């Protein structure tokens, strides 16, 4: 293990520490919008479309009871609603309410802005390389599509 101040970080430490940075952004941005990081994630996922509970559980990697509690709390705050699944009347989908959609957009925009600042010292070419390499790691490991590209286009990850 290298010394913490020698300027060299291995891939494991770099990935773990970068996840802490992103989680801190989610937490800070969430606090400012009255959301927990998990609620922020849920709203970002639902920006794409409504999802069934089992799909959400798989995407967010939450046990059924944890997901139910998260959806219940977010629903009580008026940000999501449960609606019948048109494909299976026994199932429900979770969708953003108009208030949830507004808040999701605000949270998403602010979170993107802050995350965009993290690699601020990198040149455009280095940023492109970082995106390419991290993108390969994400795609190779079939990370769920829990966050959209900042341009509003395609999902930033694979596996919907």
51-65 pLDDT per residue, tens: 999 999 999 999 999
How high is the pLDDT of residue 47? Answer: 94
pLDDT confidence tier of residue 8, bands split at 50, 70 and 90: confident
Phi first, then psi, for residue 30 (nearest 5°) are -60, -45
- Whether 23 has a pLDDT exceeding 50, the answer reads yes
Averaged pLDDT for residues 109-124: 95
Pull the structure tokens for residue 77: 């705050």
In angstroms, the Cα distances linking 142 to 81, 121, 127, 136 are 28, 29, 22, 10
Q: Which CATH number fits domain 11-140: 2.170.190.11, 3.40.630.30, 1.10.760.10, 1.10.10.10?
A: 1.10.10.10
pLDDT score at 87:
85
User: Is the four-CA dihedral 108, 109, 114, 118 of positive or negative sign?
Assistant: positive
For residue 2 the two structure tokens come to 């290298």
At residue 89, the pLDDT reads: 83
pLDDT value at residue 6: 64
Distance CA 90, CA 85 (A): 8
Does residue 150 surpass a pLDDT of 80?
A: no
Mean pLDDT of the chain: 88
| pLDDT tops 70 at residue 155 | no
């Amino acid at each position: 293990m290298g010394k913490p101040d020698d300027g060299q970080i291995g891939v494991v430490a770099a990935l773990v520490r970068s996840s802490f940075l992103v989680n801190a952004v989610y937490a800070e941005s969430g606090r400012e919008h009255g959301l927990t990081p998990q609620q922020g994630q849920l709203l970002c996922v639902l920006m794409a479309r409504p999802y069934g509970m089992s799909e959400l559980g798989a995407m967010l990697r939450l046990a059924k009871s944890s997901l139910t509690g998260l959806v219940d709390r977010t629903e009580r705050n008026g940000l999501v609603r449960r609606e019948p699944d048109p494909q299976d009347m026994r199932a429900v989908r979770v969708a953003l309410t108009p208030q949830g959609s507004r808040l999701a957009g605000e949270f998403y925009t602010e979170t993107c802005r802050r995350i965009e600042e993290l690699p601020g010292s990198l040149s455009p070419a280095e940023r492109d390389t970082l995106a390419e390499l991290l993108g390969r790691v994400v795609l190779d490991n079939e990370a769920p599509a829990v966050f959209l590209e900042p341009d509003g286009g395609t999902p930033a990850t694979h596996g919907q």
